[in-house]
């Protein structure tokens, strides 16, 4: 299961639903895009260190980008930017899930629901 950035934020804030879902998963993945979005959102070194420590509590494997993910994400943006406001980061995360054959857990249903080949799991707070 690939964890979207929003779910990782809920988990970091101590959301019980996020904890319960992730405790029942043997393998937990995040995209390198999610990792970078989280780092970018840190306000200072204290927050950054707390986030890096938090990541060690949950053994996430960070999935890298590759050429296939880039091609697929470009296709998603080309086909859905105008109709669904498809953003680059969301396209890369969705493509990562599809290339690595993982379901995507996200509370941002509207960001992904129109992607036919994506196994989207809706997270509710």
pLDDT tens track for 33-52: 999 999 999 999 999 999 99
Write out pLDDT tens, residues 52-94: 999 988 889 999 999 999 999 999 999 999 999 999 999 999 9
Domain that holds residue 41: 2-122
Tell me the CA distances in angstroms from 3 to 9, 89, 118, one per residue in order: 10, 13, 13
**Entry pTM:** 0.95
Residue 23 has pLDDT above 90, yes or no: no
Domain count, the chain: 1
The domain that holds 28 is classified in CATH as: 3.40.50.1010
Arithmetic mean of pLDDT, 91-108 = 98
């Amino acid at each position: 299961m690939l964890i979207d950035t929003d779910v990782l934020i809920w988990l970091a804030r101590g959301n019980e639903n996020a904890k319960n879902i992730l405790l029942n998963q043997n393998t937990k993945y995040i995209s390198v895009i999610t990792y970078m979005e989280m780092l970018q959102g840190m306000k200072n070194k204290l927050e950054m260190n707390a986030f890096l420590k938090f990541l060690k509590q949950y053994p996430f494997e960070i999935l890298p980008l590759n050429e296939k993910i880039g091609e697929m994400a470009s296709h998603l943006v080309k086909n859905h930017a105008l109709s669904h406001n498809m953003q680059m980061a969301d396209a890369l995360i969705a493509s990562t899930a599809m290339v690595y054959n993982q379901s995507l857990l996200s509370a941002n249903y509207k960001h992904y629901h129109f992607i036919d080949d994506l196994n989207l799991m809706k997270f509710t707070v």
